[in-house]
Structure 1
């Protein structure tokens, strides 16, 4: 019997869900619905198959710094450099320097409540 087959959602508390949803819509392009959430569909006849990763970190990790949250969101993006430039121009708090590895390109931004968001541009063809 197969049990867990993927991430079904990311749920977390917010001081102002409507304002936070608007920030994610306006700056990261999420299609925030009237009920306040966003739905991601992966793969299909006309697109490459996508993946969502679940990965626990040690309690003392600094990977999510400067955020003090116990979680970090990771979103796939098509053009990391372009998006980071746009976010800076919009006055968003882009943190650290972009990094490139065999897994792709990574950049980070803090949302208005101080949660670190990782932006990931997969390697070409993935």
Structure 2
């Protein structure tokens, strides 16, 4: 079902977005982009994105949580079809944590859990067919 996907992003939930920006920019020397948050998405707070090797993005959202809530591996559905993938997972008994919803950049995302409760996610770019 996800055999034709690649890892598109790794998402981290952080306590302080400014502290995170300083660490990853100054200590790890990553080129970070601060993205403006949208009302209703991630609390409307700014978020950060860094492009890593092989097209993998590191994404940071400021959000309350506990250790172990992140990172979240995000599979990129380059050909779209997120609705069918989620339905297929659900039909196999996979727990859908978050149904298909809008991502901060206008794409679509959905979260599901593995048998140990680890959250995995999928993402579809804006404009890709559902």
Q: TM-score under structure 1 normalisation? A: 0.50
Q: TM-score under structure 2 normalisation? A: 0.48
